[in-house]
Structure 1
Amino acid sequence: MGADYSTEDLRGRLSSVTVVEALGPPYFGTGHIPGAVNIPPHRVVELAPTLLPAKDAPIVVYAAHRFSHGADVVVRQLALLGYRDVSRYVEGKAGWAEAGLPLIEDGEG
């Protein structure tokens, strides 16, 4: 497992990592970090093989906020599936928005 990412870490590396939102589709649809894919905790085994790159590519997982546990669940499940460079964005979607950074809604690209 990789080190936890801060907001500045993720902002600076956004184009070189795959970002995963560990929330359900309705939450993802109302706003997510640009470029993120949606993999809720209960669908990791099903979705990871098709949505994530090679198992050694850097992946950063986030949930709603610092105290959400969904990201931890997804990080552990990805590690069990053999993904080797998985980190957690500790501030979550709330921290991203509080920093004044954009959230993308479905249909915006």
Structure 2
Amino acid sequence: MTLEIERDDCVQSIIIGVTRTANWRDKMLEKYGDQRNGWASKALRKIAGDAENLDDEAWSRLQPYFDSDEWREGVSEAARQVGFAHRSKSFPFFVKNLVAVLSKPTAAT
């Protein structure tokens, strides 16, 4: 796989994972009425839109983790934190948080 294709796949994976979590937050808003879910959904949709602009620095931080066994769960965990563990709508902050999540030691290691 070429680096450009791998990078595009990474962007698409982030968009899909973050959008999936935004849709889930919409359902949680309907179910529980907790307005944090509405805010989180909007923030996640902004992050998904900004993912298309993945710059070289962010890609270099994500590349070692992309396509790992932990990648999808890491994207999901970082997305679930938006609006609850922090209130940033910034894509660079999301990347920083995603790298932190993926860097955590796992029980298997």
Q: TM-score by structure 2 length? A: 0.28
Q: TM-score by structure 1 length? A: 0.28
> Relative to total residues, which structure has the larger helix share, 1 or 2?
2
Larger radius of gyration: 2
Relative contact order (alpha carbons < 8 A, sep ≥ 6): 1 or 2 greater? 1
> Relative to total residues, which structure has the larger strand share, 1 or 2?
1
